[in-house]
Amino acid sequence: MSVQIAGVKRGPAARLRALGGGWLQNLCLLLLVLFVLVSVFAPWLAPQDPTYGDLGSGLVGPSAEHWLGTDQGGHDTFSALIEGSRTSLVGPLAVVLFSTVTGIAVGLFTAWRGGWADTVIGRLLDVVFAFPALLVAILAVAIFGKGMTAPVIAMSLAYMPYTARLVRGLALQEQARPYIAAYRVQGHSGVFVAVRRLLPNIGPTVLAQSTVNFGYALLDLAALSFLGLGVQPPTPDWGAMINQSQAAVLQGQPLSSTVPAVAVVLVVVAFNVVGENFGDRLAGRDS
């Protein structure tokens, strides 16, 4: 049974349909596609240069020239929003890619080897677990200075145990199924079976988890920029935009910070909803 399922190849259209669901799910999926498109084509989409501050027109309201107004430095909020989507995509993407790949490697290795290697690595993962991602990112900034590179690497490490544990659990479950034994009996090497046969079966569940992780990584990195420790001005970034507009909020001009705040929440909601629905559906399929 499982062997057959593993062998089924689905076309991209069928895959997309399988992702679709209720209106909320579809709306969120649409939002994610929009988010990715905007961040890829940001330089062509932004009507103005968000790094150019026209001090003469600071904190103006929405107009034909500035669709979403300007911040106190006279930067166009709409353009900053569009250009800022890039850092919001690239940072979390790097974190999720790195943590997923290493997490899969560690998870598969521990599940496959078992014994003392599993125990020792499990204890080490417990230790890493004790470090919240944002805290590790802050520590990385304290050591290597402000910017995104060091925090992204540090956060990748902090997120890794989540994927590793998930993969280990899934792999142990999957290993107990007869098709794995069947492959082993046929003389395939352990690495081959783990990577080519087992991984495709647990892949979707891991992908669902990584989608949710993307949202959380985005939140952590935006928080870092909000604290002034991540992306540095004048590079546009949603977290940094909120940070710089705090004075404007106290002056009763919250628009320039509300816009990126709404963007952060919407994108993270979309990632959570899509990832969780996807995961729920997979869990339903298995049971």
Residues of this chain that interact with other proteins (CB under 8 A) are: 123-124, 126-127, 130-132, 134-135, 138-139, 141-144, 215, 219, 222-223, 226-229, 239, 242-243, 246, 249-252, 254, 257-258, 261, 264-265, 268-269, 272-273
Complex with other proteins: residue 48 or 260, whichever CB lies closer: 260
What is the nearest approach in angstroms of other proteins to the Cβ of residue 268?
A: 4
What is the nearest approach in angstroms of other proteins to the Cβ of residue 68?
A: 16
Residue 56 gets which letter from DSSP?
Answer: G
Instruction: Kindly state the tokens that stand for 102.
Output: 């290493």
Complex with other proteins: residue 180 or 264, whichever CB lies closer: 264
Phi, psi angles (nearest 5°) of residue 70: -130, 165
How many residues are recorded in the chain? 287
Residue 72 CA neighbour count, 13 Å, CB half = 15
For residues 261 and 179, give the distance between their C-alpha atoms in angstroms, rounded to a whole number: 48
Is the separation of the CB atoms in 220 and 137 below 8 Å?
A: yes
What is the nearest approach in angstroms of other proteins to the Cβ of residue 121?
A: 13
Complex with other proteins: residue 99 or 257, whichever CB lies closer: 257
Q: What amino acid occupies position 280? A: D
What is the nearest approach in angstroms of other proteins to the Cβ of residue 261?
A: 4
What is the nearest approach in angstroms of other proteins to the Cβ of residue 50?
A: 20
Complex with other proteins: residue 31 or 45, whichever CB lies closer: 31
How far, in Å, are 72, 87, 143, 151, 233 from residue 137 at the CA level?
A: 29, 16, 10, 4, 19
Is the separation of the CB atoms in 83 and 50 below 8 Å?
A: yes
Q: What amino acid occupies position 242? A: I
